[in-house]
Amino acid sequence: MAEGMSPPRTADPAAVRRMVGVRKLCTLLGGVKSGRRPHFNFGNARYSAEWLCLRTDLLGQAFWLHLDNEDDARYAAVSTQQGLFLGVVRAAPPLAPHAPFAVCAQGDSRAGKTPAAPSSEPRRRGRGVDSVCRSIARR
């Protein structure tokens, strides 16, 4: 290298992926009173894990769910609002192999937003698009 030039800086790819991943503040739902396994609803999918069943003290609190890999929405990292990592949760089996855009598309189809065949009838309007879907649609 020439004198006076600094070496090129490099970034850890995993750290960069975490910085640009999808993140949402979600409430931990379910529990003994409701008779449902503790879970998060994120991007039209239900995320849960065994360790959540043991942490009943966390029910009703809000946590950050973070998708490190935007192309794979099967797993999400859970952290407190202060940034303390708690663990990883997994999407329920029907939506497990899909990317976030596919999860949004499935949610849209449930809401009646599937592309209609050409006809003279106007399309039905469904419920609003989730914030994850909106951020993906802007790209």
DSSP H/E element including 38: strand 36-42
What percent of the chain is modeled with pLDDT above 70? 65
Nearest to 78 by CA among 21, 15, 24: 24
What pLDDT score was predicted for residue 2?
A: 64
CB-based contact 89:46 (threshold 8 Å): no
What pLDDT score was predicted for residue 111?
A: 57
Q: Domain residue spans in the chain? A: 13-113+125-137
Q: Which of 4-8, 21-25, 36-40, 134-138 is modeled with the greatest confidence?
A: 36-40
pLDDT, tens digit, for every residue of 55-112? 999 999 999 999 877 778 899 999 999 999 999 999 998 654 455 555 555 555 555 5
DSSP labels for 87-133? Answer: EEEEE-GGGTT--HHHHHHHHHHHTT-SPPPS-SSPPPP-SPPPHHH
